[in-house]
């Protein structure tokens, strides 16, 4: 990973920055759900089964990964996002490695992602196991 990029675990005071970050992400990716500041505050106090890792370049937030540990050692990666200018520098991969390293009972890690990201996650060791399908209805259509 590039010099001057550091990783840390998010704490409650990072909720504002994470919410702003989500808003930026949503501008590029309409499927991306925006979590409010209070939703972030809540999840950051949920305990050790919920972890948000932040990547910063100097002091600027440039990426984050939110993972929660489900039953039987199954880690669910809720979000992983890196600012466009910082992509392909192994920021996501390094956040994933850090995330995998903190749980002793981990058996697997899973996430949902658009098809265009499949190659990227393959490079991180993930295998595609399912297809997500969606039907968009026009207003009034049933
Ligand atoms: C998906 C995403 C998080 C990847 O972040 P990133 O920091 O660029 O990923 P990394 O640099 O760690 O990439 C891991 C590997 O994939 C490669 N890679 C990254 N982007 C790539 C691309 N667009 N095309 C081909 N390979 C790519 C990297 O070079 C690296 O390979 P290497 O280990 O051989 O060097 C980032 O593109 C992103 O934020 N996308 C928008 C949000 C999103 O779609 N999130 C996922 C849904 S939850």
Q: In this predicted structure, what is the pLDDT of residue 3?
A: 81
Q: For ligand 1, atom 34, which residue shows the shortest CA distance?
A: 123
Indicate the pTM of the whole model: 0.93
Separation between Cα atoms, residue 141 and residue 136, nearest integer Å: 10
Q: In this predicted structure, what is the pLDDT of residue 136?
A: 84
Q: Does ligand 1 come within 6 angstroms of the Cβ of 82?
A: yes
Q: Which ligand 1 atom is at minimum distance from the Cα of 83?
A: 39
How does pLDDT run across 101-119, given as a tens digit for each residue? 998 889 999 999 999 999 9
Are the CB atoms for 111 and 80 separated by under 8 Å? yes
Are β-strands 74-82 and 60-69 bridged in parallel, bridged antiparallel, or unpaired? antiparallel
Residue ranges covered by each domain of the chain: 5-123
Q: For ligand 1, atom 5, which residue shows the shortest CA distance?
A: 92
Separation between Cα atoms, residue 92 and residue 85, nearest integer Å: 13
Q: For ligand 1, atom 43, which residue shows the shortest CA distance?
A: 81
How does pLDDT run across 86-96, given as a tens digit for each residue? 999 999 999 99
82 pLDDT tier (thresholds 50, 70, 90): very high
Task: Output the CA 88–ligand 1 centroid distance in Å.
Answer: 5
How does pLDDT run across 40-67, given as a tens digit for each residue? 999 999 877 899 999 999 999 999 999 9
Q: What is the mean pLDDT of the chain?
A: 93
Candidates 46, 56, 50; CA nearest to 21 is 56
Q: How is domain 5-123 classified at the CATH fold level?
A: Aminopeptidase (3.40.630)
Q: What is the CA radius of gyration of the chain?
A: 16
């Amino acid at each position: 990973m590039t010099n001057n990029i550091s990783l840390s675990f998010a704490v409650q005071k990072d909720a504002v920055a994470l919410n702003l970050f989500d808003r930026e992400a949503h501008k590029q990716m309409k499927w991306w759900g925006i979590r409010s500041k209070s939703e972030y505050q809540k999840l950051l106090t949920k305990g050790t089964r919920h972890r948000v890792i932040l990547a910063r370049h100097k002091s600027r937030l440039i990426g984050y990964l939110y993972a929660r540990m489900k039953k039987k050692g199954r880690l669910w990666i809720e979000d992983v996002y890196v600012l466009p200018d910082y992509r392909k520098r192994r920021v996501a991969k390094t956040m994933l490695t850090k995330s995998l390293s903190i749980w002793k009972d981990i058996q697997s890690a899973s996430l949902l992602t658009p098809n265009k990201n499949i190659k990227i996650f393959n490079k991180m060791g993930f295998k595609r196991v399912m297809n997500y399908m969606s039907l968009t209805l026009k207003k009034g259509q049933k």
